[in-house]
Amino acid sequence: MTAIMYRTVEVDGFNIFCREAGVTGAAKLLLLHGFPSASHMFRDLIPLLADRFHIVAPDLPGFGRSDMPGRGHTFERIAETINRFTEVVGFDHYAVYVFDYGAPTGFRLAVRHPDRITAIISQNGNAYEEGLSDGWNPIRAYWQDPSQTNRDALRTFLAPETTIWQYTHGVPDVTMVSPDGYSLDNFYLTRPGAGELQLDLFGDYKSNVGLYPTFQKYFRTYKPPFLAVWGKNDPFFLPKGAEAFKRDIPHAVVSFFDTGHFALETHATGIAAAIRKFLPH
């Protein structure tokens, strides 16, 4: 059995919960989760890779078991905290696996410290406008008019049934989706302050779209080894977004899986195999 350690790391007075596995001294792999999840989304992937990599998977600030920041939280602040987290845990050179919110976080780290990033794996982690579906329209409306009415309209994204829908939409056989993941996500969404923090981040997501040209310039300039593993039935991030990486990184590898947004729930084995083939060790 794979030994996985569960610990809390203090980052400049802020507590970040994380999962860690693998052999110290092996190639480093940072796993960054998305909305509304936490590092538990990697519970099936970590054991499939821990024999080859030193893996660390943090809960982003305000998610899972990490500390809850104050109001007005932004993706830039998330990236700043996770950047310091990598320094505290000794991740000086590492590959990064990004999913959903983990993508604008990880891409910010890459732009800030391109010398530290050895490779990027993007699982439904977008960096191109053509990758955004119409499912973003209610959030776009809030970007254009940050009124209380438009903010309140986004509370449906925080409802328990919406979380379940995110996990099951686009999955050919929903009996393959364990209830553990979405049940834990819904539990964490009830933490005091979590709802307002998530609404703040919906509003700030426009800053990520604004950085797409910066992310794309990084891809063109540094051309990191890049693997896209994509649930092709994702209602939020379209397959066009996965293919778009090849414009800026011609050698990028793009693999599609017949599943939805949370591809690891049904295809962890296939995604792990793609990573093992892609990454040196």
What does the chain look like in DSSP terms, one character per residue? Answer: ---EEEEEEEETTEEEEEEEES-TTSEEEEEE--TT--GGGGTTTHHHHTTTEEEEEEPPTTSTTSPP--SS--HHHHHHHHHHHHHHTT-SSEEEEEETTHHHHHHHHHHH-GGGEEEEEEES---SGGGB-GGGHHHHHHHH---HHHHHHGGGGGSHHHHHHHHHTT-S-GGGS-HHHHHHHHHHTTSTTHHHHHHHHHHHHHHHHHTHHHHHHHHHHH---EEEEEETT-SSB-HHHHHHHHHH-TT-EEEEESS-S-THHHHHHHHHHHHHHHS--
Rounded to 5°, angle at Cα 47 from 45 and 48: 65
40, 73, 169, 261: the catalytic one is 261
Rounded to 5°, angle at Cα 214 from 88 and 194: 55
261 included as an active-site residue: yes
Q: Which residue numbers are catalytic?
A: 261
